[in-house]
Amino acid sequence: MRKINYSALIILFFWNVSVSLAQSDMISYGLYKTLPQANNLNPAMLPDYKFSIGLPGLSGVHVNTAQNFTNLELLTSTDEAGNINTANILDNLKRNNRLSSNNTVNLFHVGVRGLTSYTAFSVNTRAIARTSLPQEFFQFVALGNASDQLEDGLLDLSRFSTKAIGYTEIGLSHGREILGGKMTAGVRIKYLIGHAYADLNSFDASLRTYGNEEFRGDSIEMNINQFDVRTAGIAGALVNGQDQSEDIRGSLLSNGGFGLDLGATYEFSRKIQFFASLNDLGFINWNQQFTNQQTVPSFQYKFSGVDVVELINGEDLSIINDFDSTVSNLEVQETRNESFATSLTARLYAGASYQLSRRQTASALLYSELYRGQLIPAFTAMYNFQGGTFFNFAFSATMMNGRVNNFGTGLTLNLLPFQIVLATNDLFSILDPKKARAADFRFGINHTFGNVNKGKSRAKKNSKNTIDTIDLGID
């Protein structure tokens, strides 16, 4: 038993704020024939290059962050009196306001393609965060504790949760054509090295503000039920006070786990293809040397208010001292240096494509992930133009986070032996940042060699099974 350790909450909050503002990597699916890293989304999708390699510092970075409830234009809008238009901001809030992030740095990649198979080895470092903020939290901050808009004055804060994880994955994948080339199947096995983890699973709390005449009183009442905070790796070492450089280095390599990606494609007809992949099935076991788990018991707190000016000037800190005294008397259950395992957030991609012409393809792609028991979906329509391995272009429109105008684009340009990759899943975040709810871009340089389709063309040309030589079994 000990007093609550504020550092665990502070680390969890600022880590999420620093990276959380995300949507899935849709555009890479449209570039899979020339983008080697697209194989990370579906190990059954085989790029056209015979050999490709991506080196540290060159093979690329993918920054992917988003939220579903506001943008810079809303936050800076003013009413007729020139004041910030809080009513407009509140009207755009969701019941669950989500912030999320998927950031990936490609440290190394090498792939070898045969006529009917593809094998790749890759090393990626990933940082992933998810935060859910209830609508009532923003309402209380904006409206205060005496607003009639708060109905009965009881604010439910139980939908607040947050989770962040950073790790490196070392993966080996293999995809192969089967059923005479009509289908490909692929699998990637990954060894995972956990670097940092922080999780506030659920924060079950309510706040009675006495916001209207019927319920109005002379104090505000806060009720917080028991909640848990878990940290591990770098975050756990900092919470435990193990903040020496040797401790930090140790936490980077001491947590191991395994992951699995599965994928398949099926050629229904000459023009129609179906595809699907299930990614990030796996876990990380956090070493007992750098873990911290805290269970904060239920408590209740009442306060009657404070003079804000005096509080800012430091003349009256009674409310802070009183709250700190209440929290300090809590008997927080803390467990240090006890190993535990966490699962990855599984992701599902499924879709179909239609061959418009020899170089043009139209696709529809569904993405979903399960977070805290809630399914978060996205749907994308995509157009692709491929000029061999030299040039590949994709344009997409995605519906996610309640928006239908989320456009993306990407291209690969092969300047032998270098390939330049530029892509974004949210074009508006670049063209009109004030209206953007996301920030997404991919940039990288790969080294690519050969085109497997030339070998297939020669094999087909040299084949004896032509219309002139095939025995049709008739006179």
| Residues 93-110 pLDDT 10s | 777 788 888 899 999 999
Q: Which of 141-155, 328-342, 410-424 has the highest mean pLDDT?
A: 410-424
Higher pLDDT, 419 or 429: 419
Enter the DSSP assignment of 434. Answer: G
Residue 415, pLDDT above cutoff 50: yes
- Tell me the CB-side half-sphere exposure of residue 438, using CA atoms within 13 A: 31
Any residues with CB less than 8 A from the CB of 439 and at least 6 apart, and which?
A: 21, 63, 64, 65, 66, 426, 429
- Exposure class string for 54-66: b at 16+ Cβ within 10 A, else e: beeeebbebbbbb
Pairwise CA distance, residues 426 & 312, whole Å: 40
pLDDT bracket for residue 278 (50, 70, 90): very high
Place of tokens 């238009």: 85
Per domain, the residue ranges of the chain are: 6-297+332-359
Q: What is the largest CA-CA distance in the chain?
A: 107
Find the mean pLDDT for residues 326-346.
84
Task: Work out the average pLDDT over 464-475.
Answer: 38
d(CA 55, CA 225): 49
- The two three-digit tokens of residue 279, written as one number: 């990614």
Task: Label residue 18 by pLDDT band (50, 70, 90).
Answer: very low
pLDDT digits (tens, 9 = 90+) for 27-45: 888 899 999 999 999 999 9
Token look-up 């879709």 returns 351
Q: Output the CA angle 25-26-29, nearest 5 degrees.
A: 105
* pLDDT-based confidence at residue 234 (cuts at 50, 70, 90): confident
C-alpha torsion sign, points 123, 257, 377, 23: negative
Task: Quote the CA–CA distance of 45 and 24 in Å, as a whole number.
Answer: 17
What does the alpha-carbon distance between residue 24 and residue 40 come to, in Å, rounded to a whole number? Answer: 13
Looking at residue 318, what is its pLDDT? 63
Distance (Å, whole) CA 161 – CA 248: 26
Q: Per-residue confidence at 20, pLDDT binned at 50, 70, 90? A: very low
Would you state the pLDDT for residue 472?
Answer: 34
**Of the given ranges (356-365, 436-445, 455-464), which has the lowest mean pLDDT?**
455-464
